[in-house]
Structures are given as structure tokens and as C-alpha cells.
Structure 1
Amino acid sequence: MTFDILTLFPGMFTSPFAESILGKALDKGLIGLRAHNLRRWAEGRHQVTDDAPYGGGDGMIMKVEPVARALRDLRNAAPDSPVVLLTPQGKPFRQADAATLATKPGLIFVCGRYEGYDERIRTFVDVEYSLGDFVLTGGELAAMVMIDAIARLVPGVLGCEGSAAGDSFSDGLLEYPQYTRPAEFEGMRVPEVLLSGNHGEIARWRRLRQLERTVRRRPDLLEDAPLSAEERRLVNDMLLNPADETSG
């Protein structure tokens, strides 16, 4: 899978993707990453990519011409790669989106700067995403986050194929509590069921903790979560009888 990024600051993408899991994935050729400087498609000696907004107002607006030229060239080189626009006005990016996008042969990201986009730029993109109800100085950090979330779902990137399956949001719920050695630390013990070796009981404990943690921390996720009738009953009981979250 190849990620093409259209940006005014291609150097921002060098260090974050040279380390750890994604650095290894790049070295192995499991993913590719190309950061393209938008100024390559700007005209004039100064390669201007922004201008003042019609009608007045603060700040500068990203011009349509260089973005349109760049996207046409990038689409010609990667015709099966959807174009993603990073904007606070986009739909919220979710784990399900990451899973869907990870099946694509590639993606083209448009990273905005300045006060916003010329509205006509939107006619050249396939989907708009936001990371949340806040504003960044540009789309580069948002693109990095999305690429990380997507790339780790590409087969072979994590090494252990089951690692992503138990992540928070992978099944619509938050992840269950995790523990490792030592079994006791400053009076805090690992739940006995996790030491029992009984895999059936461990699976039931983990599922119950998932439900409990999601009820306490993110009840908004429960509406669309794929729950059995019994799990729905348990969730309703938890909602009606709130109690402190337990890890035991």
C-alpha cells in the first residue's frame, strides 16, 4: 500500500516514519510513502499557493489551481488511490474507516494550511476526514495519525496478525484491561482468572470487562456495537445500576 501526501512541508514526514513498526514496514516494502511538495505545481517565481479570500476576511486561502494540477498528476500515477482531504469539517475518522481504507492499494492525502481551502478543491477529492472537534495548524499531523492507524492494519505490518483484532474499537467496544509480570505490585494483584490458565473463563472475563469499561467510559459506542441479547441485558443493568469500574 502506498501513501501519497500533498503538502507544503514534506520534510515533516521523514522522521515519524523512520522509526519503530512503520519504519520496518517501509524497509520491507509492505507500505510506501511519498511526500510531494505542493509548490511543484504552483506557478510563478515565488510558487504561490495561497491568496486573500474573496469578500474579505482574515487569513489566506489555499488556491485551487496548484492543488488541482497536483491531484490530476497523482491520480494519473495512482488511479486506484482515493483522495483524502484533511479538514475539521470532514466526517470523524473511526477505526472502521481505517479498516476500510487499509484495503485500498493506496491513498492520496491533501494537507491544508492557511485559513482554509478554496471551496472548489473539494470537487477533486473523494472523502473528507476530521480527527475531532479541534483545529490544527495544518493537515500534516492529521495525515500522520491516519496513516499510522491505517498502515498497522496492512497485512504483515504488525507481525502478529491477531494484535489489531483486540484493539479498542475493533469490535465496537473499548479494550479489556491488560496485565503482565509481576503478578503483584505494591499490593495490586493481577486478577486471579488471568493466572488460572482457563481460556474459556479468561475470554468471558475479558468480554465482561470490555462491556463494563465501555459503559463507564464511552456509552455512546454501545448503540452500534454488535452485542448478543444477553450482553444487551448486562449492559442495560450496568446503565441502570452504575458502579465503579472494576478490574477484578
Structure 2
Amino acid sequence: MFDSNGTFIPNNDLNVFSYPTSDFYTYTSQDTYKNLQNLSINFKLEAHLLADSFQELAATIANDRHFSLLLNGPWLPFCLPHTSNNDIGLRLENDLLPILHKSLTSAFPDSHFKAVIQDKIQLLGRLLPREETNYNKLIVSNLSSAIVGIYFPNVFNQFSVSSQVTAFNKIKSVSSSLKFCLSGPLEIASALIGAPNFLIHPNSYSPILIGSGAKHKDNRLISCFKSYGQHLEFWVLSNNLTFGVEQISEQWTGGLCFYLPI
């Protein structure tokens, strides 16, 4: 199912820019301890609780015959504090994006963070869990408790959004005790709060992180995070090259996230 780099192995019914993928688009290497400390500080959660839960989850993935290869690829810890708000767009606008701005500019005072919304409309009520991605389960779990997880950004490297969903449906058919979903904007934002330098690469371009677990009410639009040099941006942009033709790029990547309630 996954290759030795933790990337899903596509077949001919999937729309993929290329496979095997090149290493032209790269991430900055990470210090997991520092990432967890950043999450603890920014979300005001106990550091030892985050670390213990993260280690438990990582060990469970490592011992799962279906998913252990994911740990060979890039990954980031994330957490989402317990909330009573199930609106993805509102949580981004009111909570996660402002915290991400603070985390980035604290690490890189000369950098900027901005959100670019193509339809110029606020995100409240505009972003919804995409069917068949298990993203609704993450939202529901977070309404009951805080969650800690691991985000694997490169699983669907260079896949179109629809092919990410198709591939995910093959993955979720396996028998596993793990809770997981196609990655979306909430946990990607959280992971970048913990690792504000992840997409800030001094010598190379970085991948564009697509939040395919969530869909926009205008189904032509998708959400993503991308960098420009030392700067980081959140975009809601078109998923279509032309009418009816889905966009695909060697720089795009979709991921999986695994999580535990804490």
C-alpha cells in the first residue's frame, strides 16, 4: 500500500502528476521535542500530556503492519484543544490562523503570514468535512475532548484532490484500531504552529499542503498552505485548471492524520 518513503503507491485509476516523485520540493528537518513544546505553549496544554500521548500514538503506528512505513516519511505532531465549535472556517479564522501568524513571526520576525480567500468571503459556514474522508470523525472527537495526533503530509504526493479521496477509501478499508482521516486545514494549521519553519526552506521550494479532508461550499475551491521564501500563506483557491478539469501539480501534496483523544 505504501512505499519505503511512506507514500501511497498509485495505480492507473488515480490522477497523479508523477510517481515515483522527485525530491525537488523539500521540507525543513524537524525537532519533535521542540515542536511539542511549541504546541504546549501556544495551546496552553500540559507538555508531558502531549508528549506521552504522542509517544503512545507513534508506537501504535510503528507496530501496525498497515501503517508502519508512514514513519519513514516526513511527519509532524499536532494538537487541537477541546472545543464546542464544529465550524471549520470559524476555528481557522478566529483561532488557528492567528496563532499560526504569532508562531511564525515569533520564529521569523521578518516573515509574514497572510490568508488569501479567492471568493473574498469569510470562511464561517464555508468549509465542511468532505464525505468519505473520515474528517467528520475528527471534528466530532474534538467536540468531546482535546486531541493529539501525527500529520503525515507526503502520503498523497502529487495526487489530485479526487484521487486523494479515492486512495483514502482504499486505505480506510484495512482493519486497524487507529483513528485516522484524510488531512484537512485544522490539523495542518496546528502542525505548522508547532513547526513554523517546516515549509521555510533556505535552498529549495517546499510542497503545497492541501487540506483535502475539508471541502468548500463552492466545490471549485480548495484550501491549502504554502510558502514563498521566508513567508507562509493560507489560500482558498481554484481546484480547476479549466471548467471540469481538475488541477494537479508536482508541488501539491495531501496527507493523512492519526489522532488520539486526551
Band of TM-score, shorter chain: under 0.3
Q: Which has the higher contact order (CA 8 A, sep 6+)?
A: 2
What TM-score comes out, normalization by structure 1 length?
0.24
Higher helix share: 1
Larger Rg: 1
